[in-house]
Structure 1
């Protein structure tokens, strides 16, 4: 079970030991994994586990910038994205939340009772 599975999201971004990781659900579809590859994230696999991470050769500022650009794009693409609190200073997190809110169906308007008009 991946961290994304535990959080019940499609993708989760987190920071550990100086690296930004991007974890997907177990058995994530290849198009999602290819999209993460296309965003410049490095794909890694061990046993039955697959994850992405920001390339190690980048400095902390470049790593954060890359991940900050990827998170909103994924959220706008319809994926549920979780971002470790404090990872990006909140910018990408707010963008992901805004994208999620924009995808939600607006509530159905309440039926207003018809009021009879007075005529003179």
Structure 2
């Protein structure tokens, strides 16, 4: 299991998990608790396995909710001076 945030030298990468509908926020290894708590507060659910910690959006969100949440996450994280990247396909307005 590779951590894409570490691989891309960023704090958070928000994207759709390949071959899935799950939206995941990968934070860098050893991310500070304040960053993890920020993602919690934005509506992402914290998950973990062994040394990895990541966040996922609830599966009950529709496309409009996902778009709003990802836009808010991007602006909040950038304002807090984190290196954050959100997949553009997640923040485009749903049709």
TM-score (norm 2): 0.84
Query: Does 1:27 pair with 2:30?
Result: yes
CA offsets 1:67-110 (integer angstroms, 9 cap, x no match): 111111110110011122433239xxxxxxxxxxxxxxxxxxxx
How do 1:1-120 and structure 2 match up within 5 A?
Answer: 1-16=2-17, 17-89=20-92
Runs of 4+ that moved beyond 3 A: none
Q: Secondary structure at the match of 2:23?
A: strand
Alpha-carbon displacement from aligned partner over 1:19-50 (angstroms, at most 9, x marks no partner): 21111001111111111111111000111110
Question: For this pair of structures, how many residues does the alignment match?
Answer: 90
SS at match of 1:58: coil
TM-score, scaled to structure 1: 0.68
Structure 1 alignment gaps of length 5 or more: 91-120
Q: How far apart, in 2, do the equivalents of 1:55 and 1:66 lie?
A: 11
Bigger relative contact order (CA 8 A; separation at least 6) = 2
Unaligned runs of 5+ in 2: none
